[in-house]
Amino acid sequence: MAKSMAKRKREHLFRTVGKDVTIMRNEIDFSTHVRKTKTKKEKQQQQQNKHKKHFRQGMVPDGNAFYYASVV
């Protein structure tokens, strides 16, 4: 197989200067904490806290803010 131009340049630089550029490549840094998906219970808890139960703050005892009072 043929050598790529980048590989040729690396080998030429190593022969002439003695500098190996492959050593200077950065290693990939991975995060040290563990990621995990939320459970169904955690998702439901987040959804409840997100809306903060707006319609339960003293409007109607059962928590329904939208009701019609019948006028007789």
Start-to-end CA span in the chain (Å) = 93
pLDDT tens readout for residues 6-65: 999 999 999 999 888 888 777 766 767 777 898 999 998 888 877 666 655 555 555 555
Q: Annotate 47-62 with b (16+ C-beta within 10 A) or e (fewer).
A: eeeeeeeeeeeeeeee
pLDDT tens readout for residues 52-62: 666 555 555 55
58 Ramachandran zone, left/alpha/beta (phi>0; psi -120 to 50): left
What pTM, to 2 d.p., does this model score? Answer: 0.34
Q: How far apart are CA 8 and CA 25, in angstroms?
A: 17
